[in-house]
Structure 1
Amino acid sequence: MSEEPAVIRCHVVAENAGALREFLKETQPDVGCRAIAHRTPAGVELDLYFRQDQLGEARASGSASLVDITEVENITESWRTRQEEVGGGDRFADRDAVPHGLGRKE
């Protein structure tokens, strides 16, 4: 089984809302659950999520010149690190124990 490309959270800044819309329309990134663009002195800012392979395509897109893309975090790597913190046992096995970690539904 081949490994899926990593997901990268990127901070994107456009000069105006029209430029950001054009970039979003062309690249089709994942905007997350609650995409809210913020107007700042630098322009209109938004966090977006790209698969690693899509990020290269987004940087090469025709509308990429309208935005500044900064990689913030490798979401996949962070997720794997957090998964290692989760115990492997059944947290509900001992009825007198205080539950912790992720449980197993039975």
Structure 2
Amino acid sequence: MPPQKKAQGRQKDQGPHIFRARIGSVDRALLHSVIETHRLDVAGGLRREESGEVATDAYATEEVLQQLRRQGISVQVVENATETGRSRQAEVGKGNRFAKGAVPRGTGLPEDGDDVPER
């Protein structure tokens, strides 16, 4: 089997952005239906708000969020998850920490003499 080629010409801003949004409806069945119909990724389960709405957080494109609004679902964008993910990538190391044969051993707990920053 030949080795797979790496995708070439990929740009950082390829494709639509994904947003985390609070979606809700007073009609639990409607909310459940749109979650299934649009195959939404949801964070946590449904919860009843003080307003009487049943709500959850979902991840979707702006296009899908507009469709939900047209179907009578309340939508409040919490964050642009695509941008949040990109900014978090700065926290990820770029080098190969195992290049010189330094393989981590043990339980991952600090031991005496380890240089560990205070939290």
User: Is the alpha carbon distance of 1:96 and 1:48 closer, same or farther for their aligned partners in structure 2, counting shifts above 3 Å?
Assistant: closer
Structure with higher Rg: it is 2
- Equivalenced residue count is 93
Does residue 49 (structure 1) correspond to residue 55 (structure 2)? The answer is: no
Q: Point out 4+ residue stretches in structure 1 off by more than 4 angstroms.
A: 96-99
TM-score (norm 1): 0.69
Query: More helix by proportion, 1 or 2?
Result: 1
Q: State the distance in 1 between where 2:28 and 2:63 align.
A: 25
Alignment of 1:1-106 (within 5 A): 1=10, 3-26=14-37, 28-32=38-42, 35-42=44-51, 43-60=53-70, 63=71, 65=72, 67-94=73-100, 95=102
RCO greater where, 1 or 2, for CA within 8 Å and sep 6 or more? 1
Aligned-pair identity in percent equals 26
Cα RMSD (Å): 2.7
1:6–1:52: 8 Å Cα contact kept in structure 2? yes
TM-score (norm 2): 0.62
